[in-house]
Structure 1
Amino acid sequence: MNRKLGLHRPILDGKVNFPLCLAPMVGLTHVALREVIREYLPSDAFTIWPTEMLNSRRVPDENLETTPETMRSESETGLVPQILGNEEEPIAKTVKRLIEWGAEAIDINMGCPVQKALKHNYGVALMGDPSYAAEVVRMTVKNSTVPVSVKLRAVGSTKEFDELLTFVQGLRNSGAAWVCLHPRTAAQKRRGSADWEQIKQLHKAVDFPVIGNGDVQTSDDVIAMLEETGCDMAMAGRALAARPWMMWQLGERLGFSAPAGKEGLRAPSTPEEEGAEYGKVLVSLIKKSVQFFGEDKAMRKVRFYVRTTSVWLPFGNALTSVCAKAQNTDQMIEGVEKFFSVPHEMSARTELRQ
């Protein structure tokens, strides 16, 4: 396997050389998790890094250094914050602040299916109005000095592909630099299988980068998505949060160097090795969460992380209980280390419906 898999079309003017990135996820894609995952990125790899969804009506008045969703470390590169928005004035102010903050691109969310976003004509609601969605891209590009991308969901079926293509071409004509397609409909949310055929068809039909998202749980899935769809990158959400070493595993397969500090080692590969690594990741996440968020917020964020990612462990509910009962992060670390003092095998895949 070589590095030519994926990245047929340049992202961030060719700076990106690694075909896997983290998905923007509410409550998960914060600085502490990004820092944990970065520790597994090959030392010679560069990819893009999202934030949680940011409301363009709020960002202009927030302290970006202390707001949990926009906290970042000084060493972070490749930051591509994701915004929700549909009005030019707040979008313009938000984009300006985020570029000053360090954004290397701006991503517009047109895929969020939650009611709160739909109520304000954000997220996937914009997919019901192609001309207005294109206008949102135009107004964002107009006010940005960095590339603008869009994350969107699928149409109902591959038979309706022309509808999706027309929509994406409108985004492209308005200046979008790339799109990420999660080929589940808004009604599906996390249920059912992602229709990778739509990613394949879209990549064939357009002349700019397409990132594929959906049902990527292992490095095997990353390779399969890149090979089967021809997309430029794969994006993984909860599964990459659960197994950050997927970055390391993929790097080994594509001929990248080992992550910094892991030279001479190999990535975890057996279910038992992965189970043990999850325990190490969790302890690291607890410590970094305290560092960035303080004790109380750290406990809430870690508990949410465990509820979301422990489904890949046979006794995930027991681990969730350990973290829920801890009175402070020291007790949480003690409980986690005790839990993983015996072997645990991590499943390759889960239903992803939690």
Structure 2
Amino acid sequence: MSVDVVVVGGGPAGRALARACAERGVGTALVDPNPERRFRATYAAWADELPEGAPVAVSVSRSRVVTTEEHAVARGYAVLDNERLWRLPASVDVVAGRVVGRSASSVRLADGRVLSGRVVDASGAVGGSGAAQTAVGVVVPAGAARPFVDADEAVIMDWRKPPVATTADPTFLYAIPVSATHVLLEETSLARRPGLPLAELRLRLHGRLAAHGVAVPEDEERVRIPLDGRPRDWAFGAASGLIHPATGYSVAAALRRAPVVAAALAEGRPVVRPVAERVVHAMWSRGLASLLAMRPDEVPEFFHQFFLLPDDHQRAYLGGHGDLRGTLAAMLHLFRDASWAMRARMAFPVRTAKSAGTPG
């Protein structure tokens, strides 16, 4: 088969790019080992980071963070519609197969088929040193979730300690509505090398639920996001380094960038990340190193300081992929306001406390 563009990987980023290419009239094939598999993860983002027309399932007008104190965040939050994220135009050729070889202009599948076209790797993050975000979540009726989150609200982080834990690793509760009637409650380890085991996260989540008399559903959501994967050539999405290494977010950035990359492919231009984006990513990676170096008790205090920053600094650091000036200003402001001990962690993140000194 010969097409203009071959997208390898059928996740949210790969499908967003295939969709954007098709909308420009670019002949597109999408290759995935199991292209009929629906998305089971919950994808969400700050509402103001999503492009116009993004497939939003439910949104809230206000957000909250609990660190050593409670912070109201003046930003809406949105959960994406997985069915619309998954759906592709009929003009996209969907190919079920496992890629075993690739170049810039073709891919070879395990069954011997060869697809020719400009190849874009959207198969996800790989490599790195093992730093990961992990989480275990359950969906409960909105009424049962009221001890954790109010109506028309998202709790982005609640760092209050769970009633049960076997390690000192800091984790937070993430509580967001996924429909008009149900809420996702997820125990999350923001960053650890290696990722905090799911069994520990499950224990903590169940402890939080039990403390409020909330029954534990049978189904659960399990999350593992590599945070320091190596960006690859001819890539898009997590494979190109779009995962924010200090937060794990990437889908909103992929949805914003897909039309830009599709335009470059349609015009025969190279698909490269701007220099400013690469520099910002390096700065974020420095932020990840600082998080990994902090003692467990320092992490909530760090986020307390972060959410005291002006709104524009918060937005720049959390999602400004190409905003070098804003990201630098946010980091300098945070460093200036931090304690001397916290400054030392930021300036000299030489030892990963959560992996070197924490069991589990």
TM-score by length of 2: 0.33
* TM-score normalised by structure 1 residue count: 0.33
More strand by share: 2
Q: Which is richer in helix? A: 1
